[in-house]
Structure 1
């Protein structure tokens, strides 16, 4: 029951983020590391990826599809981590420190938790809750 609720919560958060990437891309464009080609297309496609992953994770008729969505969202969280680091560096370089350390430090620590959450909620792993069989 808890896993299902947390799976739906994570899927909802990713769906909201996906919609925001598509309808309001400017904040995402502003934190994208420089040198990447076609930043507008990247932000749009990341929004689409979040929506597809959220739908796959949330649906209840196929555990295979849920696991695929979970793996996709976990990989997505790993792939966007450089943008989070870039946002941190950009903010800390501002005279007012932007959103500050109170925002960025927890966000850095949250990223691996989000990766685990996707994998656990999607049934890819039971760690650390599974019992050892001796």
Structure 2
């Protein structure tokens, strides 16, 4: 594993753990971005927050790293509809970010997935 991959694991772990904790500290911020066609926004926010925390911790444990990486890649794919929803109704989220930011972050999701895969899955060979 390269130094860059090791550093990435630390950054990713801090990022995912921090984001996951925020699901519980400020749940309303997250429930409002759940697309309206999905059921039980509070439950989805709690489950995704717990998955982020567990995945972030898993990145730091060598024997769990690969599974945590795949889990986080899947989680990033699962929450992508919320990012699309935010961008397509950007006026509803003007207090969170300008519309251009919501659109600009859409291509970042696959890049984040690739980063997790590179650091946790590929780097764990």
- For Structure 1 versus Structure 2, the TM-score category normalised by the shorter chain is 0.7 to 0.9
Partner in structure 1 of residue 114 of structure 2: 116
Unmatched 5+ residue regions in structure 1? 127-134
Alpha-carbon distance, 1:125 to partner: 2.8
Unmatched 5+ residue regions in structure 2? none
Matched, 1:103 2:101: yes
RMSD of equivalent CA atoms: 1.6
Tell me the TM-score normalized by structure 2.
Answer: 0.88
Pick 1 or 2: higher relative contact order, CA cutoff 8 A, min separation 6: 2
What SS does structure 2 have at the residue aligned with 1:108? coil
**Which structure has greater helix proportion?**
2
The whole-number CA distance in structure 2 between the counterparts of 1:34 and 1:67 is: 33
1:90-126 CA-partner distances (Å, limit 9, x unpaired): 21x45xx82234312321110000000111110x236
User: In terms of Rg, which structure is larger?
Assistant: 1
Aligned residues: 119
Partner in structure 1 of residue 67 of structure 2: 68
What SS does structure 1 have at the residue aligned with 2:32? helix
What SS does structure 1 have at the residue aligned with 2:37? coil
Tell me the TM-score normalized by structure 1.
Answer: 0.82
